């Protein structure tokens, strides 16, 4: 579980540092990067792609249960690569839940998630979103390439010799 905790903590720290920067540096301007990429501050009160913006509080609570489930399931995994990917997913989810809690103005979990990476042809996202998506994709790839890794570790019952 140390791998899950370390990767998750790194994701949370990077996510929150970049969101603090975005919330202060992008208040009154956008920063063009290359091609269509730019930094553009927005707040997402819904889920992926801005869907369900009126359900933000409930989504935040649901995400807490998902985080608990990810961590609970990760306890059964022994492959370090998969544990790192579970850590990325948990860290990303925690980073976005922190926004819902810390930036709340109208009660518990009412805050909007800060998004700022904008390609202008794809929904705006953040570091936490990248970690969740990359973690999930990585788990899918590993599960297809090495299906035995996706199965929880099992302890074998003690063998008894027939009498």
* Strands in the chain per DSSP E: 31-34, 37-44, 113-118
Task: Tell the burial category of 119 from Cβ atoms under 10 Å away from its Cβ (0-12, 13-18, 19+).
Answer: middle
Tell me whether strands 37-44 and 113-118 are parallel, antiparallel or unpaired.
Answer: antiparallel
Chain CA centroid to CA 42, Å: 18
Using an 8 Å Cβ cutoff, are 118 and 38 in contact?
yes
Catalytic annotation, residues:
115, 129
């Amino acid at each position: 579980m140390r791998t899950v905790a370390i990767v998750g903590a790194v994701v949370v720290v990077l996510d929150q540092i970049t969101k603090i920067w975005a919330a202060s540096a992008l208040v009154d301007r956008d920063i063009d990067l290359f091609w269509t990429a730019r930094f553009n501050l927005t707040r997402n009160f819904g889920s992926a792609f801005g869907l369900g913006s009126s359900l933000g509080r409930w989504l935040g609570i649901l995400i807490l249960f998902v985080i608990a489930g990810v961590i609970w399931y990760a306890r059964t995994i022994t492959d370090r690569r998969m544990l790192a990917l579970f850590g990325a997913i948990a860290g990303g989810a925690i980073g976005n839940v922190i926004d819902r809690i810390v930036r709340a103005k109208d009660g518990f979990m009412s805050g909007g998630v800060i998004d700022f990476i904008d390609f202008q042809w794809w929904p705006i996202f953040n570091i936490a979103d990248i970690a969740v998506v990359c973690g999930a994709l990585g788990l899918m790839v590993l599960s297809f390439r090495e299906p035995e890794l996706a199965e929880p570790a099992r302890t074998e019952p003690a063998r008894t010799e027939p009498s």
